Structure 1
Amino acid sequence: MFSMGIDLGTGKTAAAVTVFSELKYSTVMIPLSDNKSSTFVKSSVTFDMSDRIYTGNEAEKMLKKEPDGNASNFKIKMGTDYLYETGGKFHMPVELSAIMLKLVKNRAEEFMNSKVKDAVIAVPAYFNQNQRNATYEAASIAGIKVKNMISEPTAVAISYWNSMKNRSARNIMVFDMGSGTTDVSIVHARDQSFTVLSTYGNTNLGGLNMDMEIEDALKSRLRNLGITSYPPDLKIIAEKIKIKLSRHESASVILGKNKVKFSMDSQQLTQIVERMTHEIFKCIDMAINRSGITKTMLDTLIITGGPTKIPYLFNAIEKYMAMSAVKNINSETSVATGASIIAAGHITGENGQSRIKINDIVPISLGCVILNDLVVTMIPANTPVPCSRTRPFTTIKDYQKEIEVKVVQGERPLGSDNVLMGNFRLTGIKPAPRGEASINVTYSVDKNGILKVSAIDNATGSRKEIKIENALQHSSDEVKELKETVKRYFNEDLKRKKMAEVMNNAEELLYKLKGIANKQLTSETTHYNINKDILKLSKAIQNNNIALLSQLEATYKKEYSI
């Protein structure tokens, strides 16, 4: 039996095996194409009228015959409820990914003449928990046991490091742009040890953005000629034009049965890429800012991924970083190679058997949702793992007997804008007035990326816990771009967070005013207007009058010495 590494890409899929022979570890790519001439296969699935399944390059060839039966680029929809329609039937992304992984498994076992023991699957560093869980499920359906998941940039860094003879410590930045995603990771490498310092990415930025602009240009050309029925393989044609323009000054194609000629030059492709550079450079800046080191402390720059073969993009990144990138990285194999090295658990060393060690981080913040949807950050982004954080919480109602612990992942201040990872109810809380109960909530992430969340009532010892596997790498369709949205909605989020905080403070103030009103029956101190003030505050809370609530809070706290 053998372990393998898998690069389940948006556009292409590849796999590799690292084996021990002749006192050293060596890596081989699995030939995945139908004729075994290529080490990668298109991430594409086509169903014909009789429900026969075609995968990879065969699926692409069937497009003209079965124009409505194809599904591709489904990786970008992993972890969502999006459905792909093929010939009147619907398929979830996890099902389509499972078909691709089954192809990988079968061809790997045929090539190795042995059974697959398990696999390390490389995923975008910014895949969230839903997307990772969907990938696990797809592998399970395909009959593959997942040994671990590793971020794609980290896999690339390990693949590069494995080929190096000089293993002196260095800081490596990996820029990895695929068809659907862009990831940037800063990795500190020394001997056989790898520490991920930071990661940042955009799960909606990649080669597909370029393809869509080229496809729009193709459609515009046809519309100008009065043609509204587009060839079924227009997406494939757009991708081929992009690939050709990455190597040549111009590209021409003949479109459909109308034999329409379309031409495009490299300068037009450059203009498309130029429009993306703002988001590209933002990913780089955020990764560096969160790494704890400066740009000048980077020793090595690795630029990888299919779209980076476009000269303008490659050169633009080098210029922005003011350093030359490594030139001997194979974009089509480096992710799978790195994943296979991790699967083997060893990296090439002086004795050929150096055990690999990876120190990862939590790339996206983990938080707990409290009253009015506010998020309390429990473990901030880029915290090294393993890690554990405990915070005290309390009740919001008198004699409350249970609380709900809602676990979210994301950088937005309100829970509904982040990814819900799980929730549970802690019962058996000792009844007490609001705010008197003491409940400790603990978030712990172990070295394997398993998140455990527990809550315990300090008075009764009542305890509840949930376990969320593989919480390290992390955007679903409902929460696109995760951290990218933070900047976009920054001002709006500040207002919403302020409103939630004012509401929470107002409700706490109302509770204390009612307490003062009840106590003054037996107290020498008399507040003659307190009932009117309670009514006024209650109405302001009911009407969500934030401006008035802020004013009343300042006034009443001073007047009632709260």
Structure 2
Amino acid sequence: MGDEGFRIGIDFGTSNTAAVLAFPDGRIRPLLFDGSPLLPSAVHADPLVGLLVGRDATHAARARPDRFEPHPKRCVDDGAVLLGEARVPVTDLVAGVLRRVAAEASRVSGGAVPRAVLTCPAGWGPRRQEVLRTAARGVFSDVVLVPEPVAAATYFVAVAGRRVPTGSCLMVYDLGAGTFDASVVRRTTEGFEVLAIHGLSDVGGLDIDAEIVAALGHTYRTRDEATWRRLVEPQDPADRRASRTLWEDVRAGKELLSRAAHTSVHIPLFDDEAPVGREQLDRLAGPILERTVAASRAVLDAAGVAPEDLAGLFLVGGASRMPLAAALLHKQFRVAPTVVEQPELVVAEGGLHIRGSAAPAAGPEGTDAPSPLLLASARTPPGPADGPQDRAGPPTRPRAGLRLRLRRRLTAVALAATVVVGAAAAVVAEQLSGSASSGLTAVPEPLRGDCRDGDGATMPGAARTLLCRDPQGQQATVGLFDDREAVESAYQQAVREAGVTPGEGDCATATTGEHRYPAAGTATGRVLCYTGESGRTSIVWTDDRGHTITRAEAPSRDAAPVLREAWLAWTGAPAFPTREERDLIDLLAAADCRRAPIGLLDDFPGALAGVECNPQGVGARTASYLRFGTVADLRSAMDGQAAAAGAPTGVDCADGAAPGFLGARRYDLRSVELGTLLCQPGPQSSLVMQWSVESLLVAGRAVGADSADLAGWWRAYSGPPVARIVEAVNRQSAPPFPTAGESDLLSHIPQRSRKDCLRPSGEQVRKNVGSEPVVAVVCGPTSGARIVFYYRFPDVRAMRRSYGSGRTGGADCTRQPRRFEGESSYQRGRVTGRLQCGSDESGNRWLEWTTDQLAVQAFAFQGGDPAAMIDWWRHDAGPS
């Protein structure tokens, strides 16, 4: 792009417009509008100053909403829009927004930017395209239209650096503020073609905002119907301002919940702060996002592409940031979604990487009639990231191909025809005698074709030494040992002589290191790689099963890559992802994962697989996860980590406040013990949190810089999903949960509160109700409290004995008494009992109540707003 001058890429969206500027030197930067990369697409017709756009328009709308159009893109078929007394052509509305973009581009570039690449939905036909093109030509002299999914796919390859081989398909999941589009595109030698699209015009971030507002109304309408109506149906300027403030705060809170577990929303007119949690947001957004997943499935079916054949699943659009979107897609398709840091800029920037243009095909029969599922085609030349590897398919390591490549490289670096071999040591599983072939089962299979006795070359401690050669003439020395202890002694001596620190580096990618291998699955042995003073590069590795040590050398550092590939071929290094790694990624429902550094598996002996994933939210720089074969291996690894860190046991660091950020203790989920949590300082002023989930045989490790932020990240994002943990815990309970009695108790709990239920620990039961025999379940989080315990007694008398241990008589909790403290009898329809409420020192509210008809006592802890708690208790807490 160095000789193309300034160009601008624009994604004219339903609710917001994003734009990026390409500089002549190839740099690409987003344009900022009032400090934000998003310009509201809104337009307001002012009779004195003309059209106002963006935030100016939304501000003016508070006084004259009749002159305001928040979504000009939805008016593309209307020809003109009535704003106040003026009838304004749609092309003028669009041009007004584009003119604001052009002005910002001119300010940044120092002059007019005549060339613009605009994106539009792939399903738009010629008439709609012409509306956008006509509006743009009134602002820019050179206009190119590009289909949105093609722009996104081009970004996926050219900017995100992801591989999409020619002939492979990519799904683009575009969830914006006002609309949703799912597309399947296929890479061709010319670029990308759209195979199928499916759009939902009534699904977007705004619809999720509306669900949050409706949920808040469930609470606040009961407090003051008239005041709430002023917020949702404003009639005067003051109420309209309050209403807009509410919606803006709801949107901001929703966006924050993509990074945090809890937030609050300011409720104007009530002058109150309403708590909103990630779980509540997921519950409200779930049905909306499920529709997008169904549309994604439909578009795959229409394109005739199986999920496992996708080269990627790319999430774009600002609303796609919600973690639940990626989780639902991963659950449906078993494909790890890709999410970038600023998904709202993807389409605008992707359009600039397309050399040439292509407009989407028209709708059915050449019309612009909307189609729920439209097959289309749009091609664009490949982006800068194109290369031979993209046409060759995914990387593999077929032995014949690897040997051919090694032979060519050997010639290129002028190696004779072999890798020079040095001393080696090995251990054999059986006692060796007779010919060299009697120990061949302990020799790496590619080297077995040509082995002979070492002709005097011996390895200290070895029962026998063999010189072996693979079909390409590459040699290695194999030492056969009598037992594992002899192997360990000889190998440790080699490590000491090499001067390499154990457990560091990666011999698969570097010339210096020492660690276990392979990088996934059960460890086969250990490997040492280093370069000596003479410049000779050596690789020495053990085989625990065959009791061998093998050593191979290259004459110079330049030949090290050849030796490294030979070692990978000889030991059968697994490609990513292995089955264990794929299972771990699926369990986590994680996105953007890769194989964990080999040193991490070294730190956790017994681990079968490790992945490192881009952490969601803020607070953690890296997040890694490991899978184990047994609980004993997992506990042993965690105990070893705690001992190495010198962490005092019993110190809780879940809030990040442990002295020196050092401590280890067992932690639980609603009283059910899950595993160990360990905090410790890391290298270079970093902080490390490590934890285990024993029911899933998983350990996690996160690194950050701030103790409170890292602990907050762990509480919100540590993974795996709570539902998977609960499922595993219940399956492994003795007896499996739920029993017949527990099932009957659950049947009396309303569905909204019957979430992720478990059998509480015996200690928790004794703490709540003493020694009375009960059937117990614990559920949560709910809309009223994060944790709710339900205990069913043999009879009402036993229940009242338990409840009677507390105080009775006082204020009515349903009237939300001062400090939310009270106790009294209650009646809900035919259900009677007693209700007690209170607050602890940290401000968390709790409820305790009985249900006479079922002999049930319940406890709700970690509640929030008293009105919300009481509303939940009345309608959704149960039992009934």
Query: Which TM-score tier does this pair reach, normalised by the shorter chain?
Result: 0.5 to 0.7
Q: Output one character per residue of 1:104-139: Cα deviation in whole Å (capped at 9) or x when no partner.
A: 111112222232323221112233444333322332
Amino acid at match of 1:199: I
Amino acid at match of 1:140: R
Q: Output one character per residue of 1:198-249: Cα deviation in whole Å (capped at 9) or x when no partner.
A: 2222233211221222333455555441213224214333322322333333
Relative distance call for 1:256 and 1:52 in structure 2 (3 A) is farther
SS of residue matched to 2:260: coil
The partner residue of 1:174 within 150, 154, 172 is 172
Amino acid at match of 1:6: I
1:309: Cα distance to partner?
0.9
Amino acid at match of 1:328: V
Contact 1:168 1:191 in 2 (8 A): no
- The structure with the largest alpha-carbon Rg is 2
What is the CA–CA distance in structure 2 between the aligned matches of 1:264 and 1:302, rounded to whole Å?
28
Contact 2:361 2:378 in 1 (8 A): yes
Relative distance call for 1:239 and 1:93 in structure 2 (3 A) is farther
The partner residue of 1:6 within 5, 10, 17 is 10
Amino acid at match of 2:14: T
The partner residue of 1:126 within 123, 127, 130 is 123
Q: What is the TM-score with the length of structure 1 in the denominator?
A: 0.56
Contact 1:119 1:148 in 2 (8 A): yes
What is the CA–CA distance in structure 2 between the aligned matches of 1:329 and 1:302, rounded to whole Å?
12
What is the CA–CA distance in structure 1 between the aligned matches of 2:219 and 2:45, rounded to whole Å?
30
Matching residue of 2:33: 33
**Corresponding position: 1:307 with 2:319:** yes
Contact 1:186 1:199 in 2 (8 A): yes
Matching residue of 2:147: 151
Relative distance call for 1:308 and 1:167 in structure 2 (3 A) is closer
Matching residue of 1:537: none
1:73: Cα distance to partner?
2.5
**Corresponding position: 1:114 with 2:111:** yes
SS of residue matched to 2:279: helix
Q: What is the TM-score with the length of structure 2 in the denominator?
A: 0.37
1:257: Cα distance to partner?
4.0
Amino acid at match of 1:29: R
Q: CA RMSD in A?
A: 3.3
The partner residue of 1:18 within 15, 18, 22 is 22
1:18: Cα distance to partner?
3.3
The partner residue of 1:382 within 375, 382, 385 is 375
SS of residue matched to 1:299: strand
SS of residue matched to 1:275: helix
**Corresponding position: 1:103 with 2:133:** no
SS of residue matched to 2:303: coil
SS of residue matched to 2:344: coil
What is the CA–CA distance in structure 2 between the aligned matches of 1:93 and 1:241, rounded to whole Å?
33
What is the CA–CA distance in structure 2 between the aligned matches of 1:291 and 1:237, rounded to whole Å?
40
What is the CA–CA distance in structure 2 between the aligned matches of 1:311 and 1:363, rounded to whole Å?
34
SS of residue matched to 1:208: helix
SS of residue matched to 1:366: helix
Relative distance call for 1:12 and 1:266 in structure 2 (3 A) is same
Relative distance call for 1:165 and 1:314 in structure 2 (3 A) is closer
Relative distance call for 1:173 and 1:115 in structure 2 (3 A) is same
What is the CA–CA distance in structure 2 between the aligned matches of 1:165 and 1:214, rounded to whole Å?
36
**Corresponding position: 1:271 with 2:280:** no
The percent of aligned pairs where both chains have the same amino acid is 22
Relative distance call for 1:95 and 1:264 in structure 2 (3 A) is farther
SS of residue matched to 1:116: coil
Q: Which residues in structure 2 correspond to 1:466-485 (within 5 Å)?
A: none
Contact 2:145 2:357 in 1 (8 A): no
What is the CA–CA distance in structure 1 between the aligned matches of 2:321 and 2:6, rounded to whole Å?
33
Contact 1:177 1:206 in 2 (8 A): yes
Contact 1:11 1:42 in 2 (8 A): yes
Matching residue of 1:558: none
Q: Output one character per residue of 1:165-210: Cα deviation in whole Å (capped at 9) or x when no partner.
A: 7564332111111112211222222566222222222233211221
Matching residue of 2:361: 362
Contact 2:133 2:143 in 1 (8 A): no
**Corresponding position: 1:336 with 2:338:** no
Q: Output one character per residue of 1:272-319: Cα deviation in whole Å (capped at 9) or x when no partner.
A: 322124431232123212324322211111111111111111211122
Amino acid at match of 2:33: S
Q: Which residues in structure 2 correspond to 1:82-97 (within 5 Å)?
A: 83=81, 85-86=83-84, 89=86, 91=88, 93-97=90-94
Q: Output one character per residue of 1:325-378: Cα deviation in whole Å (capped at 9) or x when no partner.
A: 224363121111011223xx2xxxxxxxxxx686x763732169xxxxxx9x9x
Amino acid at match of 2:230: S
Q: Size of the alignment, in residue pairs?
A: 356
Matching residue of 2:137: 140
1:93: Cα distance to partner?
4.3
Amino acid at match of 1:246: S
What is the CA–CA distance in structure 2 between the aligned matches of 1:94 and 1:174, rounded to whole Å?
28
Relative distance call for 1:329 and 1:257 in structure 2 (3 A) is closer
Matching residue of 1:451: none
**Uncovered stretches (5+) of structure 1, i.e. residues with no partner:** 346-355, 369-374, 387-562
Q: Output one character per residue of 1:66-109: Cα deviation in whole Å (capped at 9) or x when no partner.
A: 565543133223222573545x5554544332211110111112
Contact 2:124 2:362 in 1 (8 A): no
Contact 1:16 1:337 in 2 (8 A): yes
Give the structure, 1 or 2, with the largest relative contact order (CA under 8 Å, sep 6 or more): 1
Contact 1:6 1:340 in 2 (8 A): no
Matching residue of 1:55: 53
**Corresponding position: 1:325 with 2:337:** yes
Relative distance call for 1:266 and 1:329 in structure 2 (3 A) is closer
What is the CA–CA distance in structure 1 between the aligned matches of 2:249 and 2:68, rounded to whole Å?
15
**Uncovered stretches (5+) of structure 2, i.e. residues with no partner:** 232-238, 380-880
SS of residue matched to 1:185: strand
What is the CA–CA distance in structure 1 between the aligned matches of 2:46 and 2:277, rounded to whole Å?
36
Contact 1:79 1:133 in 2 (8 A): no
What is the CA–CA distance in structure 2 between the aligned matches of 1:249 and 1:68, rounded to whole Å?
38
Contact 2:315 2:338 in 1 (8 A): yes
What is the CA–CA distance in structure 2 between the aligned matches of 1:122 and 1:199, rounded to whole Å?
15
